[in-house]
Structure 1
């Protein structure tokens, strides 16, 4: 049984499989789909997509007690295995313990996400149970991610471990990132954009034309200007058109305002009428 009817058909199938593999790799590299939103809310899923640039990255923080008896290291990952612990979104490692005990604070299989214009609150629930605090309920991690355009991903800070309640205890973390910042609106209008494009095109025309005339054609002097003959003729035609429009006929001064001749008028001889007087 032949799989391919022709070599071209087999090549087409191979390329199709390669494209599918590439596309699958692109979609899988996102990592956001690993988070399981507890409420199956579409809005929460959209909030998670804002955190896509932070996926596949272990973000760490350290915390020590005032007397130095306790020292912990925290590892956080967006929708991924923090510290390579399967299902763990945030883990705690006891640095004082001999075997460095690892505690899962929250899992990304139980995720909640809320967001505003410049912040996102990520909640991982269903962590390991407390031993004696908080009625032995499961731990919860809250990560507050705030907008900071100066950094792609800042340092993770441990703000609070609330474990003195009877229930609803939590670990609170803070993180700065430009990933949750709102998109900047362009302040340039359509006219400004068109003007910039026009200036760029003009610069390309002048520089490219100059180099072509000088290096390829071998022109010298003013002839290095691109399309020099055309622009010279264009200037002359423009001048002729302006002359035709603005000076289409000779205008004569109105008779009321016509000036007299500038040449001096010869004085006529004075007529004598003495012969008319009686003698």
Structure 2
């Protein structure tokens, strides 16, 4: 009974591993901050927003320390892939406690918005550096760019900012529009060469997920077999070839495989035709 329980445990481990692997393989893979990989067929799109590129040693980061856009009575400050730094033109608004306080307003978050209410600009933190999520804008056209989403949980609202980084090899176009949805959710866009992906052809390269899965299953089977041998040898005192667990099953496996293959062949070939008769004739005694 103990051996049967041990075998059930190992089979459960194998099934759990298969399910976990199958659920973890996806076409989009976030890596480190502001790095994102998206696979479309045989092409792998690599986005590295914070990596240096020609003419832009800081990548997507604004050299001023922040991006700024003002629409009507609302002003937005944000920085991608890092916190904001203000060497000039700092935010001047009330209620900035979640993002640095009155003396360092904007210096301890990655996105801040100010709405003019009753003649005063009231601040709300809508993004913090650790809470960043990246995805492609259009999965059917991944070359368009990526969307960077950041969020921040405040006392009154759960705020967020979605920045669409559009691929543009010709230069940078600062954000000019600002959209608001709900109480504290904002969206804007900018054009930048960092939004362009490096495309790698991955056809036929490496083992792939199936090869990796096969190796893991073989390793788990080896562990199961070794544990069964150890248990039967030291605890059940079995010697010789019988020490292998489920020996009868492994011996009968070739015969079962042959029988299964023969059954499949007969199934696909169908019943013998009328023109194909046995060369043997009936004998009357």
Whether the TM-score (by the shorter chain) exceeds 0.5 is: no
Greater radius of gyration (CA): 1
TM bucket, shorter chain: 0.3 to 0.5
Instruction: Report the TM-score when normalising by structure 2.
Output: 0.39
More RCO (CA 8 Å, sep 6+): 2
Instruction: Report the TM-score when normalising by structure 1.
Output: 0.39
- The structure that is helix-richer by fraction is 1
- The structure that is strand-richer by fraction is 2
